[in-house]
Every structure is written in structure tokens, then in C-alpha cells.
Amino acid sequence: MLDGPVDQVAPALLGAHLVAGGVVVRLTEVEAYAGEGEDPGSHAHRGRTPRTEVMFGPAGRAYVYFTYGMHWCLNVVTGPDGRASAVLLRAGEVVDGLEAARARRPGVRDRDLCRGPARLTRTLGVTGEHDGVDLLDPLAPVRLLPGTDLPGTAVRTGPRVGVGGLGAATSWRFWLDGEPTVSPYRAAVVRPRRVRPAP
């Protein structure tokens, strides 16, 4: 299920279930990232580092990274060993454990609970401590279940969010058409460097 070109594996994960922290989420939006040297948008592009170590390991592992000083994002490592490809889980619909989800996100509307990669991890209680866990292990604290209920809904594609430069050329973002839980698209923008206060 996780073998093959990552741009084919990624859309196949739509409709799959992610289980963690007493919450079950049906995935509605994902992004594909290829490996070393192939994809400027991928964290593994520049080779193996401590952070990207798990991306070079077996498929089915969780690659969890920290960004923007406060957010965790969850990827599923795909492909054969050494390929370092992964699928970023961007959004989903809570289909079970709604109470637990709401408890973790007070004041958040239901459809926004997992509407965005960092919201998804927060709602499920996924953090860096889950980096490297085997998502296919029935006993793992975070689990990925094959999409048995893939709807007849069309899969739509577009450029990845927050990926600029050459990496923006590929339409490797995949989502289920018409799903309200899909995150709002934000094009990659380069912020002008902030002016430092004079000494």
C-alpha cells in the first residue's frame, strides 16, 4: 500500500483512517514529497540529517517534524528503504472520538479540528515523541488504517502549499473534492526580511 511512486501512493491515502489519542480521522488532504536530490520541496532533498533520518528508513513509519516555533506536522514515510519519500497528512475529518478531539481544541469548530497539518496533529495529540513510530503496528500510539471507505468522490490535485521555487512545479497536493475539512490553499510567499531595529 505504501510502495510505489510517492505521487501515486499519496492520493491512495485519501480516505484512510488515522487513529491517535482516542480520535479517528478520515484523511481528506495530503501532499507528496519525494526523496534526496529529486524534490527541492522535500526535507530530504539535501540528504540525510538527524531530523530526516526516518525518511530514509522503511515505509510506514511516522516522520514528525517541528516548524514555525510551535507546530508539529506528521508524514507517512513511503516507498522502499533509502528512497526518503513521504506523504504529509494535511487535513481530515473526525469520524470518531469527537469528544476527545473537542477537548483538545476548545473553541474550535468541528470542521476545523483537523483542517491543516498542524491542527491535525494537535487534535490527535501527535508530537515529536511519535517520530519514527511504525504506523502499521496495531499497538502503536499512532496508527494508519487502509482506506476501506474510499468514496466515489473525485480526487483533485494542485500545487503544494508553502513550497516555492522548483518544488512548486509539481501538482503534488491531493484532496477529496467538496470536503469542507480541506485546508484553505495558501501559495508559498517569501516574506520580506524583517528590518532589524537600529542599535
Partner DNA sequence: CATCCGATTTCCT
Partner DNA sequence: GGAAATCGGATGG
Q: What is the closest distance, in whole angstroms, from the C-beta atom of residue 88 to DNA in the complex? A: 3
* Cα distance between the two ends of the chain: 57
Q: What is the closest distance, in whole angstroms, from the C-beta atom of residue 149 to DNA in the complex? A: 24
Backbone angles phi, psi at 38, to 5 degrees: -100, -25
Q: Which stretch binds DNA (CB under 7 A): 70-78, 94-102, 151-159, 170-178?
A: 70-78
Q: Does 42 bind DNA (CB under 7 A)?
A: yes
Q: What is the closest distance, in whole angstroms, from the C-beta atom of residue 28 to DNA in the complex? A: 13
Length of the chain in terms of residues written: 199
Helix, coil or strand: residue 24: strand
Residue type present at position 8:
Q
| Residues 154-183 close enough to bind DNA by CB under 7 A | 160-164, 183
Q: Does 65 bind DNA (CB under 7 A)?
A: yes
Q: Does 190 bind DNA (CB under 7 A)?
A: yes
Helix, coil or strand: residue 134: strand
Cβ nearer to DNA, comparing 77 with 149: 77
Total interface residues for DNA by CB under 7 A: 40
Alpha carbon of residue 131 to chain centroid: 13
| Pick from 10, 139, 160: nearest CA to 78 | 10
Burial (CB < 10 A; 0-12, 13-18, 19+), residue 32, is buried
Q: Which residues sit at the interface with DNA, rule CB under 7 A?
A: 31, 33, 41-43, 46, 49-52, 65-71, 73, 75, 86, 88, 105, 108, 112, 116-120, 122, 160-164, 183, 186, 190, 193, 196
